[in-house]
């Protein structure tokens, strides 16, 4: 929201510009079904949600497309990121700011334990 100050996510202050479209990343944790519970080497799945915020639905679609192109197939060490899904933009009509359109990208990273 314009003039509302910095965003606080996961207890940390973020330097997001409230006057511009932006992406917020949540997650990066192992999913329970992929945690290695024995001494065997197994793959672990990290999952993220990327919330893209814009002032209109076309901006959300464009932003999520750009992020999908960047993220899908991105190599991190010997692993790679895979975009699993991208939501349609939704409007929060109770948000008093113009930045009330959001879309969510779900991504995952397969790594070796």
Find the radius of gyration of the CA atoms of the chain: 16
Query: Please, which pLDDT band fits residue 98 given cuts at 50, 70 and 90?
Result: confident
pLDDT at 12 over 90: no
Over pLDDT 90: what percentage of the chain?
38
This prediction's pTM: 0.69
Alpha-helix residue ranges (DSSP H) falling in the chain: 57-71
């Amino acid at each position: 929201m314009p003039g509302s100050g910095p965003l606080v996510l996961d207890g940390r202050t973020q330097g997001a510009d409230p006057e511009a479209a932006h992406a917020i990343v949540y997650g990066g944790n192992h999913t329970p079904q992929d945690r290695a519970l024995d001494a065997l080497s197994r793959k672990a799945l990290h999952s993220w949600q990327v919330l893209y915020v814009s002032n209109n639905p076309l901006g959300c679609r464009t932003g999520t497309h750009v992020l999908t192109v960047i993220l899908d197939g991105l190599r991190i060490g010997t692993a790679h990121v895979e975009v699993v899904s991208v939501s349609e933009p939704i409007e929060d009509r109770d948000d008093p700011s113009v930045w009330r359109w959001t879309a969510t990208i779900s991504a995952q990273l397969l790594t070796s334990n």
